[in-house]
Amino acid sequence: MVWQPERDWTLLSVGNGPADGGVWSTPEGFVAKRLVPGEERPGHYAYWRRQADAAASGLLELTVGLRAPRCVKVDSDPDGITLWTDAVQPTPLASSDAAAALGRFALNRLEPADWFARRILRDRLADDQQQGGWAALETAEVLPADVRRSGHHLWTHRAAVMAELDRLPQQVVHGDAHPPNLLRPDGDDVIAVDWDQFGVGPLGFDLGYLLQFTPTPIADLVAAFQAGSAARWPTDSVRRGAVLIAAVTLVARAAWALRQPDPGVHLERSVTLSAVVDEAVTHLS
């Protein structure tokens, strides 16, 4: 029998990723997330079992800075996996508080398991290359010329981007730390969901995701991160990592959006944050 959600479940979101089969709330006060088979390489960013493996380990319920909701159970069947966690009611979270939590989270020292993602940006760029790269940017008149030039420079110098990121300290990363996944504060920590890209990445990775979705100036976000991490790393290194991650992600999403019927907010965001992209280019010269 093909898996189906129970009739009394309430749909919270449809699948938003390769392994995401939907999310429901249940009358018992739990959240049920359906994982569907896909990428089988454990180190790949899209590894479909990662959230279930993480939940079963209990590891991410014990981290500081960011913490996963309590896992109730993990059910497997021939069609996929259903992950059950405690429901968490979202509450407003200031960007500075989120950045400080990311700084604390970066201090965690975990023994990497085989299901940790290890090449998130590198694998994403490889996927983009298979789809023709960011060529759509070069003729996209809806974007300002300077944005197109900076995007082209990042693409043609992507090996240099990776070299810069590889030189930074490597640490645990949530992998998708944008506001909808940062549900609520809990003491000094933040309860976070959607750990599907959790793994190891360069200093500033999570901060680079956050800065794309907030009007808070990057200098303020970096200062908050440094407060959370007790300035464990040099400020310029934190900023460099965040800027490079944000710039590549912004331009990649804009290039993807140009191929879609509805580009959504990605083109606007690449223009609004063009100064971040320009700053990233300066790190490659």
Alpha-carbon separation of residue 16 from 11, 46, 54, 118 (angstroms)? 13, 12, 19, 21
Q: What residues does each domain of the chain span? A: 10-86, 95-282
Could you name the CATH architecture of 10-86? 2-Layer Sandwich (3.30)
Say what the pLDDT of residue 19 is: 84
pLDDT in tens, the chain (285 residues): 789 999 999 999 987 777 889 999 999 999 999 999 999 999 999 999 999 999 999 999 999 999 999 999 999 999 999 999 999 999 999 999 999 999 999 999 999 999 999 999 999 999 999 999 999 998 888 899 999 999 999 999 999 999 999 999 999 999 999 999 999 999 989 999 999 999 999 999 999 999 999 999 999 999 999 999 999 999 999 999 999 999 999 999 999 999 888 888 999 999 999 999 999 999 997
The CATH homologous superfamily for domain 95-282 is Aminoglycoside phosphotransferase (APH), C-terminal lobe (3.90.1200.10)
Say what the pLDDT of residue 266 is: 92
Say what the pLDDT of residue 82 is: 97
Crossing angle of helices 235-257 and 274-282, rounded to 10°: 120
Handedness of CA 188, 107, 115, 238 (dihedral sign): positive
Rounded distance between C-alpha atoms, residue 118 and residue 249, angstroms: 17
Q: Residue 159 belongs to what H/E stretch?
A: helix 158-167
Say what the pLDDT of residue 241 is: 99
Nearest to 66 by CA among 209, 231, 167, 223: 209
Rounded distance between C-alpha atoms, residue 156 and residue 160, angstroms: 9
Q: How far is CA 238 from the centre of its chain?
A: 17
**Residue 153, both tokens:** 């420079």
Which parts of the chain are beta strand (E)? 10-13, 20-25, 30-35, 66-67, 71-77, 80-86, 170-173, 182-186, 189-192, 199-202
